[in-house]
Amino acid sequence: MQQREADITIIGTGTAGMAAYKAAKKSGQRVIVIEGGAYGTTCARVGCMPSKLLIAAAENAHQLEKAKEFGIHLTAGYRVDGHQVMQRVRRERDRFAKAAADTVLNWPEEDRLRGYARFIDANTLETDTGFRIHTRTTVIATGSSPFIPAQFQEAGDRLICNEDLFDFEKLPDSVAVFGPGVIGLELGQALHRLGVRVRLFGRGGSIGPLQDNKVRDLAGEIFNQEFSLLDDAQVETIQRSDQGVDICFVDQQGQACRESYDYLLAATGRRPNLESLNLEAVDLQLGPKGSPTADPQTGQLYLKSGKAAPIFIAGDVQNYRPLLHEANDEGHIAGQNAASWPDLHPVPRRTPLAVVFTDPQMALVGASLPQLQERLGSENLVIGEVSFHNQGRSRVLLVNKGLLRVYANKESGVLLGAEMLGPAAEHLAHLLAWSVQQQLSIPQLLELPFYHPVIEEGLRSALRSAAAQLN
């Protein structure tokens, strides 16, 4: 077995691992990165970018569908070329993935090891390619993988996840999507708009990451106007058939149904890639779901004895906020602290910000309504809201669907969070996140300029609604 020495070892070269490497390398110490899978980030290869490419095609098709409402008639109609759609998705996906992979390949060769790593003890790692690494500190940045419930295995070779979909050479004719989370909603709606027969199955009534019941209920109504979303489906059986996949279920009217689809797309969440790391050898503190317990401001892990371990964690494997910009922040934080260990430098985290690229879009900013109700009590909160149904600019653009709710401290008036379903949510969410992070109050925000006619005027209406309730 070949022996290697390192000051900092980073397991994984996704977004978090790349950020950790760059931060650790600045210290001038010996850094080794270990990767057993493909170079390139989850975002570029199988996540954010290919999904947005598919959504972009779907949005263009949807605009053609809406053209007649503006008095524009496409007399010859239009045709979705499923092969060409997927050709562009794969081509641009490969370009994004190659750019990320090339970044890693441009690092010094002596800094890179191929193989899957496992702990021997807190300062020793081994790879399945025959290397033993003695290291002062380690950063775990191994990412996550799709979670597939056992019941779905009955679909056989017609069971796919989002990672499989992006390799398709053409669009399928029909897909049953399980899981109305971010991935399921985005892909399900996009496939529907590209002419694929889709039904979306959920459990427990959840829709995306929405936490505010009023926003979530409206989301269910709006999405069901376009395609079938069973947010609390009773699925009886799943079976591979000659035609594809047969699904027996009870619909929301209590009717027993049997339907066939070409594929079953599992969008039922992701799990941290921890199983092959042999964490038992390190005796780390583990949370209730089996993941290591980390300090989000340092990335530090702890031993069961309570002592700080020379091990740090970052990115989706931590499952703190599994988003690219958070993974990048966590990588920098973990890499810096792994380099300075045992001296740690806590870094305050940014205001939580999440966007879902459905239509209408979803956005969550700051603390959620349930979190604030638990922390402050409902009596100490004010909730301002605006419906986009009659919002001027939204009606002009025929995107007048949705609801924005903003949450503020009743005594101080400080904005604490917001939840939105509606047009331009990706942009309004940034304005709201910056405002929450700056701890601005509702009156202060209402002193800022709002142009006319713009969708941002809807935000002003929600702020005015909140201001009317302040002490």
Torsion-angle region of 207 (φ positive above 0: left; ψ -120 to 50: alpha; else: beta): beta
Helices within 168-316 (DSSP H only): 182-193, 213-224
Q: What is the mean pLDDT of residues 274-289?
A: 91
pLDDT at 150: 94
170 confidence band (pLDDT: 50, 70, 90): very high
Residue 471 has pLDDT above 80, yes or no: no
With a pLDDT cut of 70, the percent of the chain lying above it is 100
Q: Is residue 442 within 8 Å of 470, Cβ to Cβ?
A: yes
DSSP type of residue 414? B
d(CA 436, CA 365): 8
- Which two three-digit tokens encode residue 401? 């669907």
Q: What is the mean pLDDT of residues 297-306?
A: 95
231 confidence band (pLDDT: 50, 70, 90): very high
Strands (E), 46-196: 112-114, 117-121, 124-127, 131-140, 144-146, 159-161, 174-178
Residue 304 has pLDDT above 80, yes or no: yes
1 confidence band (pLDDT: 50, 70, 90): confident
59 confidence band (pLDDT: 50, 70, 90): very high
With a pLDDT cut of 90, the percent of the chain lying above it is 95
pLDDT at 55: 98
| pTM for the structure as a whole | 0.95
pLDDT at 290: 79
- Tens of pLDDT along 20-33? 999 999 999 999 99
Residue 289 has pLDDT above 90, yes or no: no
Strands (E), 55-171: 112-114, 117-121, 124-127, 131-140, 144-146, 159-161
- Which two three-digit tokens encode residue 156? 């056989």
SS (H, E, C) 371-387: HHHHHHCHHHEEEEEEE
d(CA 304, CA 122): 13
Q: Supply the mean pLDDT for the chain.
A: 96
- Tens of pLDDT along 96-147? 999 999 999 999 999 999 999 999 999 999 999 999 999 999 999 999 999 9
Residue 15 has pLDDT above 80, yes or no: yes
Residue 291 has pLDDT above 90, yes or no: no
pLDDT at 287: 85
Q: What is the mean pLDDT of residues 224-232?
A: 95
- Domains of the chain in start order, with CATH, are 2-37+115-146+271-340 (3.50.50.60), 150-269 (3.50.50.60), 353-467 (3.30.390.30)
pLDDT at 104: 96
Residue 319 has pLDDT above 90, yes or no: no
- Which two three-digit tokens encode residue 388? 């986009």
Residue 267 has pLDDT above 80, yes or no: yes
CA 35 to the chain's CA centroid:
23
Q: Is residue 42 within 8 Å of 170, Cβ to Cβ?
A: no
Question: 66 phi and psi, to 5 degrees?
Answer: -80, -10
pLDDT at 246: 97
pLDDT at 366: 98
288 confidence band (pLDDT: 50, 70, 90): confident
How many Cα atoms occupy the beta-carbon half-sphere of 18 within 13 Å? 20
Q: What is the mean pLDDT of residues 163-181?
A: 97
Element at 326 (helix H, strand E): helix 324-340
